[in-house]
């Protein structure tokens, strides 16, 4: 595994592969790799000639009161995992390499960025969009892999790739879960054993909401309050930032809409809660049954 730390060197290396007609697959990460990341890496490895992974804890996507300093870092452990996965290139730039003095350019995806997590993390998706644009320009991947646990992020990145005419196919990959359903996240490391157990309420609540949608009879507003009550019922949940139904394309909150409008279509159930010092998110796509498909 080649380890590259300088953006210009990474760009030249990628260009060399492209000029030889090779496809490049790319998994951008912030490190502290778990099985969720590795599922992306393994798919990236399978589908491309060259597999590139980046590790960069991007300061631009953390708010001043957020966990940039505390964010888990384990480069040695990560490198071992990536070598075992057969990754060809690890790109691990430092902050000065990515944001040199005088840096002033930001990418913003309007509308999509202000909803859900964006409302609670102002500037977060601007930081994400900027670093992803930079990384895609440096690595020039044929395909880039993103986990769908960060559903809003995936929608935003798909939009920016199309809007800025970036020559990369965005591949969204399913969320990987622990045995008890908790979505894999580097931030799960923040949880105490009691909090870790309490965190299972997130996926359980999503599944209950899905069930309510599939069995029909309940309006969207009812499903929304079912989710809110489910999460708030867990004493270790300090804050429910949002728990609602969204349009999976526009990310608009649709909880006040008539469920009939979405019959036969897909809705996004999405949740953000704070447990201990971890802000955790999760989501589920549900196909709302058509008029004659409501289960008995």
Binding site for a second copy (CB under 8 A): 7, 11, 15, 18-19, 21, 100, 102-112, 129, 133-134, 137-138, 159-160, 162-167
Which CB sits closer to a second copy, 24 or 240?
A: 24
Which CB sits closer to a second copy, 65 or 105?
A: 105
Closest contact distance (angstroms) between CB of 11 and a second copy is 6
CA distances from 134 to 29, 88, 233 (A): 14, 20, 42
Q: What residues contact residue 168 under an 8 Å CB cut-off, 6+ apart?
A: 26, 136, 140, 141, 142, 143, 144, 161
> CB 137: neighbour CB atoms within 10 A?
14
- DSSP letters along 196-235, please? HHHTHHHHHHHHHHHHHHHH----HHHHHHHHHHHHHTST
Which residues share a beta bridge with 143?
25, 169
Report residue 184 CA to chain centroid gap.
Answer: 11
Q: Is 17 a residue of the active site?
A: no
Closest contact distance (angstroms) between CB of 294 and a second copy is 32
- d(C-alpha 17, C-alpha 52), whole Å: 11
Which CB sits closer to a second copy, 102 or 296?
A: 102
DSSP state of 187: G
Point out the catalytic residue in the list 17, 34, 37, 124: 37
Closest contact distance (angstroms) between CB of 135 and a second copy is 8
Which CB sits closer to a second copy, 36 or 248?
A: 248
Closest contact distance (angstroms) between CB of 163 and a second copy is 4
Q: Catalytic positions, please?
A: 37
């Amino acid at each position: 595994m080649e380890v590259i730390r300088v953006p210009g060197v990474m760009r030249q290396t990628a260009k060399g592969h492209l000029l030889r007609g090779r496809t490049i697959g790319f998994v951008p990460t912030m490190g502290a790799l778990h099985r969720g990341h590795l599922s992306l890496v393994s798919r990236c490895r399978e589908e491309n000639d060259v597999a590139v992974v980046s590790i960069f804890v991007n300061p631009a996507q953390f708010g001043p009161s957020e966990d940039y300093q505390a964010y888990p870092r384990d480069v040695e452990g990560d490198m071992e995992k990536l070598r075992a996965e057969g990754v060809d290139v690890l790109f691990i730039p430092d902050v000065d390499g990515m944001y040199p003095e005088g840096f002033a350019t930001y990418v913003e995806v309007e509308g999509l960025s202000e909803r859900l997590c964006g409302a609670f993390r102002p500037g977060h998706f601007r930081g994400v969009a900027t670093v992803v644009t930079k990384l895609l320009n440096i690595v020039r991947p044929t395909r880039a892999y993103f986990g769908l646990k960060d559903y809003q992020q995936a929608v935003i990145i798909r939009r920016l790739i199309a809007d800025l005419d970036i020559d990369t196919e965005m591949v969204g990959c399913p969320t990987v879960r622990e045995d008890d359903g908790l979505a894999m996240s580097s931030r799960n490391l923040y949880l105490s054993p009691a909090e870790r157990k309490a965190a299972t309420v997130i996926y359980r609540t999503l599944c209950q909401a899905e069930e309510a949608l599939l069995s029909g009879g309940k309006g969207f507003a009812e499903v929304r309050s079912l989710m809110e009550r489910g999460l708030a019922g867990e004493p270790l949940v300090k804050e429910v930032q949002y728990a609602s139904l969204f349009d999976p394309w526009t990310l608009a909150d649709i909880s006040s809409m008539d469920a009939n409008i979405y019959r036969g279509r897909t809705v996004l159930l999405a949740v953000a809660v704070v447990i201990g010092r971890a802000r955790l998110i999760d989501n589920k796509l549900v196909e709302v049954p058509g008029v004659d498909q409501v289960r008995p």
